[in-house]
Structure 1
């Protein structure tokens, strides 16, 4: 026989003969209730179908045990990897994570921040869209909740704690590698929509000049309004190949998704990037997107340490939540990238 369905705590109170306030204390902290009463409640719960309201049981707590995460894209496996690191660290700390996606839209990003404030979360981790994020909303979020930025650090948010990648080191690392094994690379940029795009481009230019080479940047302009990075990389490099240019060059792409588009363009033009001893087309990326080892050819790239970023972001947020955030300059944590050598360069 199916167990009777109980929908509210009031119904549960009547069903098992325990007062509503006692049930509320039990669901918040069983140790606050007498052992004999705990046994009675647990026995009653075993005889009915009841799931306590997640939010209702947290309303009167000093801490909800919930943190919010805002990411810019759902179609980017980099953020899937980052969320894995955040989820692992949050679960270890006994926290529940609620994730919202801004879908590359400042208005949606703002609404997600407002939602987190209305839910009285313990804190928020935000991977912002970039300089076109609504800074006034983030100011409100920062005034209401402990708040840490991840992945991208817009110029408009210099006084917020940040955890991300040392792009100067990571981009410099793969630029130096490409210069060492072949022709100095051309930088295939992504549209200048966020801090990472600009920082990686600047790091490439700095490393090229330090090595005594002339930097060359292509693909900085937005071609299609609703295009993803893969389409951008395919269009920019496809146009170059169609004009007979860069077919024997080293190409460093601003991220792996741009590089995937670049590999597609090479395939359409009958070109096979590889680690030839002398000359030849080379294509490399940045991020170590999960699909990189399975591309054809497998993509040489530089990996961001998403586990370390996620763990540090959660630990820093907890530190602020628990009153450990020091006033003054924001804490800036950057992790170095790691070169991943594969077949494409």
Structure 2
């Protein structure tokens, strides 16, 4: 920067202003400095900038699985907002094991991020308080435990209620719940929504109709076999997340049951039958989360709504009509 300033006959501060597109630089000065930058092939020293500001121009994104369509859409939305602000993103998978969460997040946070967008998987996030003092942390999809943080979640209980009620309206009286990590706030609320819809319809959500830990095709097949073996087997399934549903598509291919999924996924609309879903709009969640990181960077003490619940909507297709 000093070399550019010396050759252009301006201050280093002026060079910085030109590079950062400060509108208060005179047009002729801007043209001169930009010409010298090109001649010297100038790029900013990101490491030096980090030392001066105490943080990198990077937003971290930590989700359970970056291949999961829902979390991939969140990460893409964060990346889009960051790119528009001249920032980068680092995306990592935390996995499903709560014990892996802390070392993964601490490794990410040690890079002096500008902010972190995270979908929590653990059972205690109080340890994040010391990081939160200087790094904006925004949670998506799931609420943190033991930590007050900006959070953007879906209306899980209402979505599960709508899905189950929809199956009831199609004549089903024995509806199973298929989920994964039942300790997560998302699944707890969705299980509650499933039970409420059944109770209001005068039906009973027996515990043997609740199948959890269905995380892949093998575990989902075992869960479905267990459900089918009941004296009064279910005629329909409410699937608590898209990953469970994608496994269910394989398991139910030759012997389908009526189905509604919490969460859409690619090609769900062209399968046979096409999958009725509760649409979550993960792109909006990611956008709002990234924008909240930027807002906290600008004013860490701003009085903003901490807990934000995003509406969901039922998208009816064919799988709810299977009989």
Deviation at 1:81, TM superposition (A): 1.3
RMSD value, Cα = 3.5
**2:310 corresponds to which residue?**
335
Contact 2:74/2:287 (<8 A) preserved: no
CA contact (8 A) 2:70 2:265 kept: yes
Is it true that 1:103 corresponds to 2:95 in the alignment? yes
User: Contact conserved, 1:78 with 1:290, CA < 8 A, in 2?
Assistant: no
Aligned to 1:29: 20
Q: 1:124 aligns with which of 95, 103, 116?
A: 116
Counterpart position of 2:152: 163
**Per-residue deviation, 1:341:** 1.3
Q: Which runs of 5+ in 2 are unaligned?
A: none
Ranges in structure 1 where 5+ consecutive residues have no aligned partner: 1-8, 274-280
User: Taking structure 1 as reference, are residues 244 and 220 closer, same or farther at Cα in structure 2, changes over 3 Å only?
Assistant: closer
Q: 2:279 aligns with which of 291, 303, 318?
A: 303
Given the alignment of the two structures, is residue 344 of structure 1 paired with residue 290 of structure 2, yes or no?
Answer: no
- State whether residues 249 and 282 of structure 1, in contact with CA within 8 Å, keep that contact through their aligned partners in structure 2: yes
* Counterpart pick for 1:233 among 200, 220, 224: 220
Query: Quick one: which of 74, 81, 90 aligns to 1:89?
Result: 81
Is structure 2 residue 266 aligned with structure 1 residue 290? yes
**What are the Cα deviations for residues 325-345 of structure 1, in whole angstroms up to 9, with x where unaligned?**
456x96211112111112211
Scaled by the length of structure 2, what TM-score is found? Answer: 0.81
Which residue does the alignment assign to 1:319? 295
Match of 1:277 in 2: none
Deviations 1:252-279 (Å, cap 9, x if unpaired)?
1111221222232222xx31x3xxxxxx
Aligned length: 317
How far apart, CA to CA, are the structure 1 residues paired with 2:269 and 2:192? 27
Matches within 5 A, 1:9-88: 21=12, 25=16, 29=20, 31=22, 38-47=30-39, 51-61=43-53, 65-88=57-80
The 5 A counterparts of 1:212-231 are: 212-217=202-207, 218=209, 220-222=211-213, 228-231=215-218
1:251 aligns with 2:240: no
Deviates more, 1:291-300 or 1:112-121: 112-121
Q: For 1:99 and 1:27, locate their aligned partners in 2 and report how far apart those are by CA, in whole Å.
A: 30
Q: Which stretch shows the higher mean deviation, 37-46 or 144-153?
A: 37-46
Counterpart CA distance in 1 for 2:233 and 2:211 is 20
